[in-house]
């Protein structure tokens, strides 16, 4: 769940950092203040969370600062700055279609009793900057590193242009080393990425860290330059397709956020939209979807991974209708979707799924786990297909013997490769397997959802380091 957390506070004048979690994006933004004046770093689109904090604490917002032009979400920075008359600060060099305050290396921003020193830290993007937080006496209280130094990792370097990746990876190495060289070892690090975001080059570790602690674990500080470059580039895996739309949106300047609910849709219209091939997304928990859902609807459980996989699979600009258990559930999904620029929804429906079925029979399929899959394979070897919906990099570490591998983000285009008949589908946790099940569910197939963590596959004797392909 999204949340806010305060750092230790020692009175007016000493900077306090409030962390604003956005778990669906795997990102954090920050509100920094001295008890009177505030600065916001890398805000997400739904700025009402921030304005509520400002109002509750009686703070005046002087600056909204961005570490970089974001590739994984639509920024709320422009709207927040305009609505509060704060200065909107971005790195010089980025081509932007709106007025802003450009900063370059070693500039200093004054905000009440606080100072933000700008450090050019390219790597995640060409013009990426970090902000060193200081008090009026020059003492360092933290550094906002965006997509540069993360907790045990660094930001990925392949989101600008493929031909720039190697250059940016070398730059990332030197940027992280600059931070380590110029800042005290006890400086707290406040990154934007690294809490599940695909903007992290490799998985991160920990919930807090300092510059000194990173010297022991961060690959940019523990590896030689070429080893770091080779390792990072070799480990870059796929990232959500919606990223392609985020940079251009943020450079144009996003419009004001709109969190109003879409118009209600009756059961007959729901059926018409599904039969027309439109996206009708069921937000309910995945086992509830398996127990009964509208034929042709798509199951995207409204939980931590919702935004990543809707954004990855959704045909950009297509009509999108939401089904929820309640108005509140639809409203939560609406908030998530505007964070990646899906602003216009075609409609919503909510309530008991049986009442939304327009008199038609619901579709359903059973749910099992890896122990159940092992038992079924022992009883009926070769009697059904096992589908692995994980990414290529996960599959490279092994899979269920004899399984067919089609990553979830490729399944809609490759659905004809999945045989008719009985199909058991798994992933790393059950979330993507449930999406795959909703894509595959149709007459002629019998589905079983493996709703289980992949670490249990080994316990069930199913994991193979080099799984032979289905039918081998």
Residue-wise pLDDT tens digits, 391-410: 999 999 999 999 999 999 99
Beta-carbon count within 10 A of 186 CB: 10
What confidence score (pLDDT) does residue 23 get? 93
Q: Is residue 313 part of a domain?
A: yes
CA distance 120 to 105: 5
Output the pLDDT for position 13.
59
Tell me, what CATH number does 295's domain have? 3.40.250.10
Let me know: does 401 contact 464? Beta carbons within 8 Å.
yes
The Cα 29–Cα 12 span in angstroms is 22
Q: For residues 179 and 114, is the Cβ–Cβ distance under 8 A? A: no
* Segments in the chain below pLDDT 70: 1, 7-13, 469-472
Q: Give a yes or no: residue 472 inside a domain.
A: no
As a whole number of angstroms, the distance between CA 49 and CA 467 comes to 47
In a domain, 86, yes or no: yes
| 3-state SS, residue 394 | helix
- Residues 149, 39 share a domain: yes
Q: Where a domain ends, among 252, 286, 310?
A: 252
Domain boundary among 324, 356, 388: 356
The values of phi and psi at residue 428, to 5°, are -85, -20
Rounded to whole angstroms, how far apart are CA atoms 176 and 222? 11
Beta bridge partners of 21: 28
User: Is 173 in the same domain as 55?
Assistant: yes
Question: How many residues does the structure list for the chain?
Answer: 472
> What is the Cα–Cα distance from 85 to 103, expressed in whole angstroms?
18
DSSP letter string, 59-87: PEEEEEE-SS--SSS-B-HHHHHHHHT-E
Measured CA angle at 70 (ends 90, 113), to 5 deg: 40
Q: Do 143 and 286 sit in the same domain of this protein?
A: no
**Which pLDDT score, from 0 to 100, does residue 170 have?**
98
Same domain membership, residue 390 and residue 437:
yes
CATH code of residue 122: 3.60.15.10
Structure tokens at 390: 């994980």
The number of distinct structural domains making up the chain is 3
Query: How many C-beta atoms surround the C-beta of residue 37 within 10 A?
Result: 17
- My answer on whether 35 and 163 are in the same domain is yes
Same domain, yes or no, for 402 and 447? yes
Which runs of E-coded beta strand occur in 256-360? Answer: 279-282, 298-299, 320-324, 347-350
- Per-residue model confidence (pLDDT) at position 9: 44
pTM: 0.93
Phi, psi of 404 (to 5 degrees): -90, 130
Measured between alpha carbons, how far is 400 from 163 in angstroms, rounded to an integer? 36
Residue 205 confidence (pLDDT):
87
> 54 near 48, Cβ under 8 Å?
no
Question: Is there a single domain that holds both residue 445 and residue 352?
Answer: no
Hey, what are 90's tokens? Answer: 């971005």
Same domain, 101 and 10: yes
Is residue 198 a contact partner of residue 240, using CB atoms and an 8 Å limit?
Answer: yes
* Residue carrying structure tokens 């937000």: 283
Burial of residue 3 (CB within 10 Å: 0-12, 13-18, 19+) is exposed
Task: Classify 472 as helix, strand or coil.
Answer: coil
Tell me: do 210 and 131 sit in the same domain. Answer: yes
Contact 322, 270 (CB under 8 A): no
If asked whether residues 277 and 247 sit together in one domain, one would say: no
Nearest alpha carbon to residue 291 among 213, 209, 206, 364: 364
Torsion angle, alpha carbons of 270, 271, 277, 279, to 10: 30
Domain holding 278, by residue range, is: 267-356
DSSP 8-state symbol, 261: P
**CA 59/CA 122 separation, integer angstroms:** 32
Burial class (CB in 10 A: 0-12, 13-18, 19+), 184: exposed
Judgement on whether residues 87 and 182 belong to the same structural domain of the protein:
yes
**470 assigned to some structural domain:** no
Q: Do 331 and 429 belong together in one domain?
A: no
Cα–Cα distance, 391 to 153 (Å, whole number): 20
Q: Is 121 domain-assigned?
A: yes
Q: Please compute, for residue 203, the number of CA atoms within 13 A of its CA located in the half-sphere on the CB side.
A: 4
Residue 213 lies in a domain: yes
């Amino acid at each position: 769940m999204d949340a806010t957390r305060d750092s230790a506070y020692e009175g007016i004048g000493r900077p306090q950092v409030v962390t604003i979690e956005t778990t669906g994006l795997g990102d954090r933004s920050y509100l920094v203040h001295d008890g009177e004046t505030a600065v916001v770093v890398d805000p997400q689109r739904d700025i009402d969370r921030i304005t509520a904090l400002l109002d509750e604490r009686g703070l005046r917002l002087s600056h909204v600062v961005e570490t970089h032009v974001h590739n994984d979400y639509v920024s709320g920075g422009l709207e927040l700055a305009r609505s509060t008359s704060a200065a909107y600060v971005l790195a010089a060099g980025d081509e932007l279609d709106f007025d802003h305050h450009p900063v370059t290396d070693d500039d200093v921003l004054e905000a009440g009793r606080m100072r933000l020193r700008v450090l050019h830290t390219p790597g995640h993007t060409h013009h990426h900057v970090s902000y060193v937080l200081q008090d009026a006496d020059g003492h360092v209280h933290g550094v906002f590193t965006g997509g540069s130094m993360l907790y045990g990792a660094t930001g990925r370097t392949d989101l600008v242009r493929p031909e720039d990746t190697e250059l940016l990876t070398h730059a990332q190495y030197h940027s992280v080393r600059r931070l380590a060289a110029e800042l005290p070892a006890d400086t707290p690090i406040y990154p934007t990425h690294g809490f599940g975001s695909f903007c992290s080059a490799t998985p991160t570790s920990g919930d807090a860290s300092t510059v000194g602690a990173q010297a022991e674990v961060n690959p940019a500080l523990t590896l030689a330059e070429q080893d770091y470059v080779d390792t990072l580039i070799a480990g870059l895996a796929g990232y959500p397709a919606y990223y392609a739309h985020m940079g251009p949106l943020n450079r144009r300047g996003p419009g004001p956020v709109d969190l109003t609910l879409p118009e209600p849709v009756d059961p007959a219209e729901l059926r018409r939209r599904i039969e027309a091939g439109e996206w009708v997304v069921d937000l309910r928990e995945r086992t509830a979807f398996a127990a009964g859902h509208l034929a042709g609807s798509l199951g995207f459980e409204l939980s931590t991974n919702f935004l990543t996989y809707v954004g990855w699979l959704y045909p950009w600009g297509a009509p999108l209708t939401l089904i929820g258990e309640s108005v509140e559930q639809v409203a939560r999904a609406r908030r998530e979707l505007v964070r990646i620029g899906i602003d216009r929804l075609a409609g919503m429906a909510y309530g008991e799924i049986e009442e939304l079925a327009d008199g038609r029979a619901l579709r359903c399929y059973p749910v099992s786990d890896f122990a159940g899959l092992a038992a079924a394979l022992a009883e009926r070897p070769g009697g059904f297909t096992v589908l692995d919906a994980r990414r290529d990099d996960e599959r490279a570490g092994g899979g269920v013997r004899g399984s067919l591998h089609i990553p979830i983000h490729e399944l809609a285009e490759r659905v004809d490769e999945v045989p008719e008949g009985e199909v058991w589908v798994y992933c790393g946790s059950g979330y993507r397997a449930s999406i795959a099940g909703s894509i595959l569910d149709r007459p002629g197939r019998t589905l079983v959802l493996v709703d289980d963590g992949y670490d249990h596959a080994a316990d069930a004797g199913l994991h193979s380091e080099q799984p032979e392909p289905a039918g081998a």
